[in-house]
Amino acid sequence: MTLKKLVTNCLIIVSVAAVTFFIHFIVNASFKESVEGNQLVYSYSINILLACGVVVLMFLLKNKLRDQLGFIFMLASMLKFVFFFILFYPEYNADGNLTRLEFLTFFIPYVICLITESVLLSKFLNILDNYK
């Protein structure tokens, strides 16, 4: 993966997340008890940064740890989930009740970025395998 491809992959993550954010924002606004817009922005922003961080990490480690990149990706995905759980759960569970909308505010951006990141990195890993 070249630097240009790295930037392109991060832009793809940002683009997919942005489209999802706008759909999520519109659907969220249609509910009587909706989640605040700044919580959505915060959740998507953090998730985009972490997803791009994983892509950059894989790019940086492609030569040193080529055979372990799949495991590094799985570990990074787990750490992202733990990070989100630590970051968002206390705020959402402050009233003792984690609503479905609060859960989806965390889960939708997490899954969208994870799927996008997985597709991009699987292509990257396949290219690396072809160069062996």
DSSP secondary structure string for all residues of 4-60: HHHHHHHHHHHHHHHHHHHHHHHHHHTSSSPPPHHHHHHHHHHHHHHHHHHHHHHHH
Report yes or no on whether pTM surpasses 0.85. Answer: yes
The arithmetic mean of pLDDT across residues 108-117, rounded, is: 94
Write down the pLDDT at residue 115.
Answer: 95
Write down the pLDDT at residue 95.
Answer: 79
> Could you tell me the CA-to-CA distances from 12 to 7, 43, 106, 121 in Å, in that order?
9, 18, 20, 12
Write down the pLDDT at residue 77.
Answer: 86
User: In sequence order, which residues have a C-beta less than 8 Å from that of residue 97 and are 6 or more positions away?
Assistant: none
